[in-house]
């Protein structure tokens, strides 16, 4: 594969040749032509040069956007250790209503707040997938599959490690089922493997005035999220109803029957630790309210009563639904947003730092030879 940097060198050289050619033409015109003729030649040369420059620019833009145009690699300007340097790239997979990054570099917001840069500083090769914020596991899975193939082609590696949050869990399982030889591990963070009663409740309102309005509003939010990332809306379709069905309890049962990898066969037990050479892990939070300053806490407090009135959930997903593969920990004092270090790092006073947990898990993958 020809690297993007090679094209930039070629373009730079051609631009220099264009500049020298323009100067030579100017000199010839000054010595041999009248002012009127000279002006005509200069005008023609400048137009030709402009056309050539624009053509080169368009070619450069095309290369830049097609080269890992979906998944985004997060790099660090300095590396302090190889603590998180895994054998295979780590691909972070966002959940429902998710994104990779919205806004500009100085003022933007990452879904995985400060997590990926920290792993990169510790030697990790990390990528953030970009998927439809609201759509089915299968549609998002096909998007992730394509991005996985891109990452493998760019890095020259044969496999990737998935770390997935919320609906990202089933999405990653879909890719593992379709492309098992290219997946080294799946780590699910509060994955909706057995569905969320919140989604089930919303799906029951489908067809009503409230339900239709909710779907329309969610689709608008999904389109706005795609736009805020500067992505092509045709490549990231939104379907709020399909998303709701996928993460509902009923929809999850159907999905699990077709793609059972790693899902516990008992109500709240362990899943298989390894299948088809793919290692599987999970961890999750069980606390809806974590910080009085967190604007999402009131939402999670309300939704937690729907998920499990006893409080054994993170505000969206129950502890048992999040079970997948080998459980690392299922009682973290985090809510559904804390699990990705949001809002902006707010968490319970003595809760473990999500950044540390993810970095330590990258080291776990490294020690496993992944």
Residues annotated catalytic, as ranges: 166, 314, 336
Residue in the block written with tokens 């090769």? 125
**Gap between the Cα atoms of 152 and 52, Å rounded:** 34
Other CB atoms within 10 A of residue 77 CB: 7
Q: What is the number of other CB atoms lying within 10 angstroms of the CB of residue 228?
A: 14
Enter the tokens of residue 339: 């699990």
Q: Which residue, 202, 152, 148, is CA-closest to 173?
A: 148
Contact 303, 316 (CB under 8 A): yes
| Token code pair at residue 325 | 């593969």
Peptide bond into 49 cis (omega under 30): no
Strand partners, 90: 126, 161
Ramachandran angles phi, psi of 181, nearest 5°: -70, -10
258 burial level (CB within 10 Å; 0-12, 13-18, 19+): exposed
Q: Which of 329, 333, 328, 306 is nearest to 317 (CA)?
A: 306
Measured distance between the N- and C-terminal CA atoms of the chain, rounded to whole angstroms: 25
The two counts, helices (H) then strands (E), for the chain are 11, 10
Mention every residue, 6+ apart, whose C-beta is less than 8 A from residue 285: 190, 314, 332, 333, 334, 335, 336, 338, 339
What CA–CA distance (Å, rounded) separates 185 from 200?
29
Alpha-carbon gap, residue 160 to 162, rounded angstroms: 6
Q: What is the DSSP letter of 310?
A: T
3-state class (DSSP) for residue 279: strand
């Amino acid at each position: 594969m020809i690297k993007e940097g090679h094209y930039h060198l070629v373009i730079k050289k051609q631009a220099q040749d264009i500049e020298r050619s323009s100067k030579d033409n100017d000199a010839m015109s000054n010595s041999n032509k009248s002012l009127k003729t000279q002006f005509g030649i200069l005008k023609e040369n400048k137009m030709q040069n402009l056309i050539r420059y624009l053509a080169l620019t368009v070619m450069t833009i095309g290369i830049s956007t097609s080269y890992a145009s979906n998944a985004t690699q997060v790099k660090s300007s300095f590396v302090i250790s190889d603590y998180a340097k895994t054998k295979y790239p780590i691909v972070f997979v966002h959940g429902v209503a998710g994104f990779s990054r919205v806004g500009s570099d100085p003022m933007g917001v990452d879904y995985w707040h400060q997590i990926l840069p920290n792993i990169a500083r510790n030697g990790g090769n990390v990528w953030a997938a970009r998927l439809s914020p609201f759509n089915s596991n299968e549609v998002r899975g096909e998007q992730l599959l394509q991005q996985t193939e891109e990452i493998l082609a760019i890095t020259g590696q044969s496999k990737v490690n998935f770390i997935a949050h919320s609906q990202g869990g089933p999405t990653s399982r879909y890719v593992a089922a379709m492309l098992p030889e290219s997946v080294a591990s799946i780590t699910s963070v509060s994955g909706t493997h057995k569905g969320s009663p919140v989604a089930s409740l919303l799906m029951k309102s489908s067809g009503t005035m409230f339900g239709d309005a909710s779907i329309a509003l969610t689709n608008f939010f999904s389109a706005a999220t795609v736009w805020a990332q500067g992505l092509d809306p045709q490549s990231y379709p939104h379907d709020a109803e399909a998303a709701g069905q996928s993460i509902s309890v009923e929809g999850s049962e159907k999905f699990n029957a077709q793609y059972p990898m790693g899902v516990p066969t008992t109500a709240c037990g362990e899943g298989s630790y390894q299948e088809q050479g793919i290692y599987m892990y999970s961890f999750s939070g069980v606390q809806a309210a974590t910080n009085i300053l967190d604007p999402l806490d009131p939402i999670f407090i309300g939704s937690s009563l729907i998920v499990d009135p006893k409080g054994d959930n993170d505000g969206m997903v129950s502890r048992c639904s999040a079970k997948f593969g080998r459980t690392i920990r299922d009682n973290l004092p985090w809510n559904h947003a804390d699990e990705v270090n949001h809002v902006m790092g707010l968490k319970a006073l003595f809760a473990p730092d999500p950044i540390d947990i993810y970095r330590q898990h990258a080291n776990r993958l490294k020690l496993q030879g992944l």
